[in-house]
Structure 1
């Protein structure tokens, strides 16, 4: 077909228009603008939209337990026989924990350095938050913290079930059932996320209507800090790891550019899972390491999500004037080290884990999520891309340390 023909041009325009109007990000953006306008020009009506944003958050919270349980159980059981995978499994988990903890620490450090949540609060009515946090601080105890937290109970139960499942005779059948149930849950989450524009509209209209346009300043600062921190993490931390093995980060990014674009379009690193596994094998990583590290990494090695979670928690603490001591900051990192492992590379999962983290923390009001709802979708792309790059680097590093890496080949084979 002649690319200059009117027919081609017409089809291209229709295809472009269709891709735009069916893109969830487009509608979230429209909803945010509509929410800002309603909240600014009709603040009383904007405040009434609170129920819309709150309802969306409440529905999302219903998915917390099932998603955390399924991702953790399938992540651990996906390693197969623990004795058989032994050294690689332990090495992978150790690597995941160290690198994701570095990501959490960097997120906290940058959030404290740039303080995106610090603004003039003369026009903000956040007194209720101080009452909430003071009450929580006075009555805090580790025993009560554990027994009153459904999230942590689910996490620990999932860990034990995942380990036990590796020794169960009907392991394969059980995993098959759990995978089918997981697909149902994530399909449900997928359809719920279609209502994200409504949630974003309600959250933004309420925020602007009640607190004014001043709230857009910290949200913009948070987005800038998140993107900057993830770029810093990819090129400084992950880039240094690759450089140790004489591999250039830019070369790797160029090699997986198709997968990165797919993730950018879907906001889900899981969408690129089949392709990235094939390319890593073609690159030189062994099939056994790829088969173990990539699927496990999707539950245990979410660097982008870790950065986003830590920065968002500190952002909300600053916004609500919640003072966190050094011990409490370590507690936040400790909680996130656990809850971040419950986030799969699926659109909306980062928001779910953030909700579960705030619930488990009992320090910052969960209602603070209304501030993040409007911009969460626009940070999900950065999270998903960083997660994909993190798991790609993890597979290369583990293969290198196992001396199970053939000669580096950065010329993808197209079948």
Structure 2
């Protein structure tokens, strides 16, 4: 028996026995996204009606996120020879998160001052519909530091695994993993059981991911059907600036970090192309979280590092969200003719650094965090958020993509930093030698 490889010969034809291109999930997801755009544009009402397909798929993935994190983190920590290794990895991860999150805020600030996408709009804040953003402002009131810390503590040990808070899952997983490690040999059967359960969980992930094209189709059809391609025209400058800034941050800033760690950012993006298309189609980086964890392990990152860095990164390493925050805040100020001094801009940046952590794990975190920041900085009218509410869905896609790539880079960098990276496996994976967990089932044939 052998598994057919994905190889294209010099004539451009797939050799006999190779998996056809259309069976690869990234191709299916891309086709689904394009079909969703067409349906949403030509038949908007139909596109809006397809929203349950996207929402249903995201709910399916969220259903499995807590078990994936719990199993990965518990078995990873339990397998560590020294418990202080957990603190060392966590310390390095948070040092990385703090540096690059702050850098993303600064990049957004510099670009907003250079390009000035909101200049010349001359908007009177009194004419804006403040009621449109009231809900986000109310959420922001409950995203302070104290609320953030308290929300990370579950009601019971089990409720963390049945709720929707990644932070609660992280807390329980770390404590349980440490306890398992401290018990030692008597807990070996439990550790072995969790490792076997992990095999079943990741097989379940592979099964759920086969529905990814359906989810991406429904989500994209809804987005285009509800908001329309034409809604992008009025604020095209801000959208273009945000997408370009995010692209530069990924290619230049994260690219340098990747190069220093010994790998290519472009090869990493190619390796994660199926997940990135899924994130693009659903506007949610959570939809690809289980697959990211599996692929980072396949690429040679230690399970303990993957279990710590990826879930915490989803709450604390939001590069795309941070770029969006400073860029959007200054866009609103410029559009409303609010002249911010350098000191006020620095204060805005400092507030954003804190509020971006306080709103971690909140649904619609990007917009909620922006509301929290503007509520604390009275110079910029909160009502100005109504200017970008219509295109926030399109900006959300870019935020999610940038956040996702940032967390993938962080995982490899921290693993390399902690000497927990198998460089040969990483090289093999990025060069196309490791199968994707999102790929279609391999074709097996009998050898003669």
Instruction: Identify the residue that residue 356 of structure 2 maps to in structure 1.
Output: 340
1:285 corresponds to which of 301, 318, 332: 301
Cα distance per residue 1:339-366 (max 9 Å; x no partner)? 2235568984322222232223222222
**1:243 counterpart = 2:259:** yes
**1:396 counterpart = 2:418:** no
**1:88 counterpart = 2:89:** yes
The answer as to whether partners of 2:140 and 2:371 remain within 8 angstroms in 1 is no
CA distance in 2, matches of 1:176, 1:93: 24
**1:268 counterpart = 2:280:** no
The answer as to whether partners of 1:286 and 1:404 remain within 8 angstroms in 2 is yes
CA distance in 1, matches of 2:34, 2:360: 31
CA distance in 2, matches of 1:303, 1:181: 18
The answer as to whether partners of 1:200 and 1:374 remain within 8 angstroms in 2 is yes
Written as runs of structure 1 = structure 2, the 5 A alignment for 1:131-170 is 151=140, 154-161=143-150, 165=153
1:412 corresponds to which of 434, 438, 445: 434
**1:379 counterpart = 2:380:** no
Written as runs of structure 1 = structure 2, the 5 A alignment for 1:85-234 is 85-119=86-120, 121=122, 124-126=123-125, 151=140, 154-161=143-150, 165=153, 172-176=157-161, 178-179=163-164, 219-234=235-250
Q: Cα RMSD between the aligned structures?
A: 4.3
CA distance in 2, matches of 1:126, 1:340: 25
Indicate the SS of the match to 2:368. helix
Indicate the SS of the match to 1:172. coil
Q: Which stretch shows the higher mean deviation, 95-104 or 340-349?
A: 340-349
Offset of 1:118 from its aligned partner? 0.5
Gapped regions of structure 2 (runs ≥ 5):
1-19, 21-31, 49-68, 129-137, 169-219, 438-448
Structure in which a larger fraction of residues adopt helix: 1
Change (3 A) 1:85 1:364: same
Cα distance per residue 1:291-348 (max 9 Å; x no partner)? 1110111110010111111100000010111121222111111121122235568984
CA distance in 1, matches of 2:383, 2:223: 16
Aligned residues: 315
Gapped regions of structure 1 (runs ≥ 5):
4-14, 32-73, 130-148, 184-192, 205-214
CA distance in 2, matches of 1:285, 1:24: 42
CA distance in 2, matches of 1:268, 1:25: 24
Indicate the SS of the match to 2:117. coil
Change (3 A) 1:85 1:269: same
Written as runs of structure 1 = structure 2, the 5 A alignment for 1:5-20 is 19-20=36-37
Cα distance per residue 1:9-65 (max 9 Å; x no partner)? xxxxxx89974577699859x99xxxxxxxxxxxxxxxxxxxxxxxxxxxxxxxxxx
Offset of 1:245 from its aligned partner? 2.0
Offset of 1:114 from its aligned partner? 0.5
Change (3 A) 1:154 1:126: closer
1:253 corresponds to which of 236, 244, 269: 269
CA distance in 1, matches of 2:40, 2:244: 25
CA distance in 2, matches of 1:397, 1:253: 15
Change (3 A) 1:414 1:98: closer
CA distance in 2, matches of 1:385, 1:158: 27
Cα distance per residue 1:160-188 (max 9 Å; x no partner)? 4367x4xx9x86235235438999xxxxx
CA distance in 2, matches of 1:198, 1:414: 32
Change (3 A) 1:326 1:153: farther
CA distance in 1, matches of 2:243, 2:111: 11
Offset of 1:127 from its aligned partner? 6.7
With the length of structure 1 as denominator, give the TM-score of the two structures. 0.64
The answer as to whether partners of 2:97 and 2:316 remain within 8 angstroms in 1 is yes
The answer as to whether partners of 1:285 and 1:396 remain within 8 angstroms in 2 is yes
Instruction: Identify the residue that residue 66 of structure 1 maps to in structure 2.
Output: none
Instruction: Identify the residue that residue 55 of structure 1 maps to in structure 2.
Output: none
CA distance in 1, matches of 2:236, 2:409: 30
The answer as to whether partners of 2:148 and 2:359 remain within 8 angstroms in 1 is no
Instruction: Identify the residue that residue 53 of structure 1 maps to in structure 2.
Output: none
